[in-house]
Structure 1
Amino acid sequence: MHRASFRADDSRTKPAHHEEQADVVYERLQAQTVQADEGSTASFSDLGLGENIVNCLAGLGAPHPFPIQAATIPAILEGKDVLARGRTGSGKTIAFGAPLVESILRSQAGQKREFGRAPRALILAPTRELALQLDRTVQPIARSVGLFTTQIYGGVPQARQVGALKKGVDIIIGTPGRIEDLIDQGKLDLSQVRIVVLDEADHMSELGFLEPMQRILRRVADGAQKLLFSATLDREVAALVDEFLVEPAVYEVAGEDQDSGTIDHRVLVIDHRDKAEILTSLVDRPGKTLVFARTRAYTEMLAEQFEDAGIRAVALHGDLNQAKRTRNLKRLTDGKVSVLVATDVAARGIHVDDIDLVIQADAPADHKTYLHRSGRTGRAGRAGTVVTLVARQRRRKMTELLQNAEIHVAFDDARPGDDVIEELAGRQVDPIA
């Protein structure tokens, strides 16, 4: 039985034992490379999707397949297990969502969909925000052919979710914790699930969901198809790959590196006493800005600081209930605020196409977090900027982190009022007389 293989990269792997959390670079999967800059001549119809789904995708703003979609959709429709790595914004949701719906439709051809039917597909995500985001894309595709989705995640009462399951759904999109809760209560039956998607499986593992994912995968139908999509794909998901994926087709999108040109990465080396003033100056700009902070308390403090300066801002972190988290994100999406200050709960799952500036008020702990934070801008080929603030004594650690992420970044010493800050905020810099 052929399994996915990993490429050793010992020169880039750091020891895990260290006083601080080590930024470990795992061995990466060997994969068939898909060139991001190759324009695909295939249409979604050519890839095997039906007319209703193709029309729905056009309505969602996807008239033609992105490279990751062109590569993976035929393999998924053939029933193969698939591993795929492409940066955030490369079109992964459609890459698995559209063929998943098509496959269910084909398998149910000529069958009457019964009330109370068990789900046929499951999509697992690490966070509530990502589950909701996935549903916003997958649900209209499913509805276009008469299939139904439901979201199952914690932090909200389960009654509505249980009610949907009693009526019968075709696709479940949710997080491992609540899904296991409903299984244990006897309210969710996964025995008919024929397709499982693990979206951001590496992040689910980081959050402690490896064993729940394994238990869930052991409950689905024998021989169920497994699809694993992520912006990072390495040895961290080896346990899942080795146990559950059989002869997978493995793809990664080349030419979509974070330094490929759509994102401008900058590091500002600052004195701590200047940090508050520099942050306020950077966010005082047109356009939408996403600011990342390490703690919930600092997130709230920065949002209040920006509001006091007359800049519309809201916070997003784990202490907020789901309704408020959703409302605050929607305020940014709708343009009612221009700044969202978030902890890493927002590093994956936020989809706002027109965020053109990401500021890391606190540098990330590791290279993966950097990649996912910066993936909130420059989506789908749009331009964006990522600015990271670091104290002078942390410059070396930041350099190592960026090397692990394989990103080339300009470092600038910065103080309040410097031209580099004015430039990054999009304000005109007067030429030197």
Structure 2
Amino acid sequence: MARDTVLDDDGSSDRKPPEGSQATKSNSGLLHRRRYLGLVGSAAAALATTVGTGAAAEDYEEITVAAGDSQTVRLSDGETFSNVLIDITEPNASFHIRAIADDWEIRNIGFRGNWDSTEKENAIICQVNSANATGLIENVYFMGSENDDTYPGITGINVANGHTGDLEIRNVNIQNCPDNSIYGSNPGDSSTHPSGSGGGGPVVIKDSYARNSRAGGFRVGTDGSRVENCVITECDKGIWSYYEHAEVVDSDISNSHHADIVCGAPDWQKAQNAEITVTDTRYGSENNRGAAIHGSSAGTPQRTEPGDVDGVPLSPEEAASGSSSTSTQTADGSDDTTDDENEGEEGNENGGDDDDDQDGSADRSNVIVINANGSNGETSFSFEVTGDIEHTPYLGSQVGTIDGSAVEGTIESGCDAYEFSGEITNFQLVGNADIDVEYDVR
């Protein structure tokens, strides 16, 4: 099946152009353009019945993606995408949901199968464009990539930089994502970020579950953002409040590789002023990266399983049909915790800090990916960093040339990736590529 490129109707990207960007005039609008794959073939007919007012709770459509194929559905203002079982069990099959609009809903979606690709992608990317509009993601089951745990890779839900309105995410079960289960901090980006100033819209995550995701489980970064009645376990950072002031209420976070509660980041001035308020939440460790954590743990985490949260789907079929789980925990989370679980929390509290925090430095903890896969013609790039830089073997890429702190290269339908410290300066791009920059990933 042929792969088609789909952009916004006006050819613009999801992200706002960076202020003060060093991109050349010929490509300044392309620096952060994200490509999406057109929906073609038999799946289009099935989707036509599901984008609209939705289906009955007991009924759902099933879409099977062929081996090596990737399909995308896009929502416009006021549309709903609901009651769909998406089968990606064939090798290298993938499916993307894109909602860059107002007053949209994504409900009752189950992904069956493993996400095989190791490229940096998003199962769901979304934003609410207008301040007085809303978006809803409810009852989603996505098991990510069980054969890839190296950043970067698949993100379960990515809230785009331009998000301005109100977004609520509830009853989702997202696991095994190399690049966050929910990446919701982009709307808090400052004007110095390569993506430009974010839209500032709040992201509320309720009654949801995350496990075994790199970088972070649930990551937020705008005033009014909140994580409520959620369970996050075995992620690099459980809840990561990256910018501004977020809140965590009545949640259980455990066994994080770095820390259960993380606030701020050293590489952005705005991130160093981040705050998080913790209320009635149980966790074992925290990491204050120059920011402010208000409150403390309410005790040992009681819940670690998706079935411990009412409403979280436990299978793709359960998600697609609109049914939900019933928690096995009591209202106060009073189930006994085993000795092994307690020992795991104690170990995390004593040694959960990142390696780069031991000496106060961030040694090449940042990543930039220049991804021109699927583009036509050559894409040339150059940039400098204020610290150290080296290739990272993302998809085996070793394209560009490093000269001290400067990099330049040319890609033809491929990608290149680097680990670096400090900031990116003098970035220039000629051609078409996805540029993704992630700070403080380890």
Does the pair score TM above 0.5? no
Greater percentage in strand: 2
TM-score, reference length from structure 2:
0.29
TM-score, reference length from structure 1:
0.29
Choose between structure 1 and 2 for higher RCO, CA contacts under 8 A separated by at least 6 residues. Answer: 1
- Higher radius of gyration, 1 or 2: 1
